[in-house]
Structure 1
Amino acid sequence: MTNSPDPQGLEPSARDAAPLTSSPDVLDRDTYDAILEPRSANRLPLGDGTWHQLAKQYVWVQLISTGAAFLLGLAAALVVSLVWHQWWVWIPGGIFLVMMAWTLIITPRQARAYGYQLRHDDLVFRRGILWQRVVAVPYGRMQLVDITHGPLDRGFGIAQLKLVTAAASTGVVIPGLTQQAAENLRDTLVDVSETRRTGL
């Protein structure tokens, strides 16, 4: 997590850029300590401010779901090849299994590349190691803040937060938040988006 300076005592223009405050102790509970960045000098910079990360349980959920898909694909390929003697199934099956194995390998590193930042006027979301993406969602443009989680997510106490805007390309889904962090962030974003829309 990258910490931002105290906005008190700053010039008015700097104070306007001060981050929105939520509950850092809630947002950063059971998360990673720092965002993992690409090694290239041409990577997108983190910049200033406090970056919050995903819950560590997110990695376990992804590993379990991907591992289950890997085992199902392997079992299906074995049944088709051994029972019906259709050996060609290992061509698409092999490609699928290699993709699942690669996903299992990179998931822990990939999860540490996710991060979000609450700034004065927008929420910034970043992800990716090889293909980086950074999206800034203005609070006043948010139309819906949605929390979803499946059975496996509930078992590990995590959820995903979806921010819907008028432009679909600027919508953001933040996965792997703890349930408490997702609810806290949802309430904060709803409150501040209403304030931005009414011009208060």
Structure 2
Amino acid sequence: MTSHVVPAGPFDPPDVNWAPVSRKLASARLSMTAIVVGVPAVGGAVAALLSGIVWLWVIPGVFVALGLWAAWLIPRQVRAVGYAERADDLLIRKGIMFRSMVVVPYGRMQYVDVQAGPLARAFGIASVQLHTASPSSDAAIDGLTPVEATRLRDKLASRGEARLAGL
């Protein structure tokens, strides 16, 4: 009996163990979405209630529908984000429908920084941004715990220095 092996696609290289980001990233994104769609939804509901114009209820309805769609989509998006450290490069994958994978060779990294805005700090997450000579590289990993972000920053910086020095 011959077994059929499905070849790995461009987004699933063989022998790669993907590390997921923190689920707190979904909570942070959902909180921001709640603010962005909640304020207009409440404002539209108040306007519809005070004016008595029935068709104005469409406004809060649209924002509630957008909020429900985001509540379904955001956790799926966060589960699709991952990164993998290999011997010579770092892989970052994102996306569900429009997938992307960025491969950053350690020798191309110029510097690595960690960022955390007020909302990210409130949820206990941070982002690691990799900077290369190419201005178009999108090498960022959002939703890391501060400990993991620090570890990754230090490890990537040391690997980048070693590769840049030709070691």
TM-score for both structures, normalised by structure 2: 0.81
For residues 51 and 184 of structure 1, what CA distance do their matches in structure 2 show? Answer: 16
For residues 69 and 83 of structure 1, what CA distance do their matches in structure 2 show? Answer: 22
Alpha carbons 2:125, 2:143 under 8 Å: kept = yes
Aligned AA for 2:112? V
Question: Which residue number in structure 2 is paired with residue 136 of structure 1?
Answer: 103
How many Å apart are 1:89 and its aligned residue? Answer: 6.7
Question: Which residue number in structure 1 is paired with residue 93 of structure 2?
Answer: 126
Alpha carbons 1:51, 1:117 under 8 Å: kept = yes
For residues 11 and 53 of structure 2, what CA distance do their matches in structure 1 show? Answer: 48
Identity of aligned residues (%): 38
Deviates further, 158-167 or 175-184: 158-167
Question: Which residue number in structure 1 is paired with residue 26 of structure 2?
Answer: 59
Question: Which residue number in structure 1 is paired with residue 3 of structure 2?
Answer: none
Structure 2: state its 5+ residue gaps: 1-7
Structure 1 residues 91-110: aligned runs within 5 Å: 95-110=62-77
Which residue of the other structure, out of 11, 16, 19, is the alignment partner of 1:44? 11
SS at match of 1:78: helix
Aligned AA for 1:115? G
How many Å apart are 1:54 and its aligned residue? Answer: 0.5
Question: Which residue number in structure 1 is paired with residue 131 of structure 2?
Answer: 164
For residues 130 and 111 of structure 1, what CA distance do their matches in structure 2 show? Answer: 13
Question: Which residue number in structure 1 is paired with residue 4 of structure 2?
Answer: none
Structure 1: state its 5+ residue gaps: 1-40
TM-aligned CA distance change 1:44 to 1:55, over 3 Å: same
Q: Deviation string for 1:97-123 (max 9, x for gaps)?
A: 433321111111211111101111111
Compute the RMSD of aligned alpha carbons: 2.5
TM-aligned CA distance change 1:172 to 1:95, over 3 Å: farther
Question: Which residue number in structure 1 is paired with residue 39 of structure 2?
Answer: 72
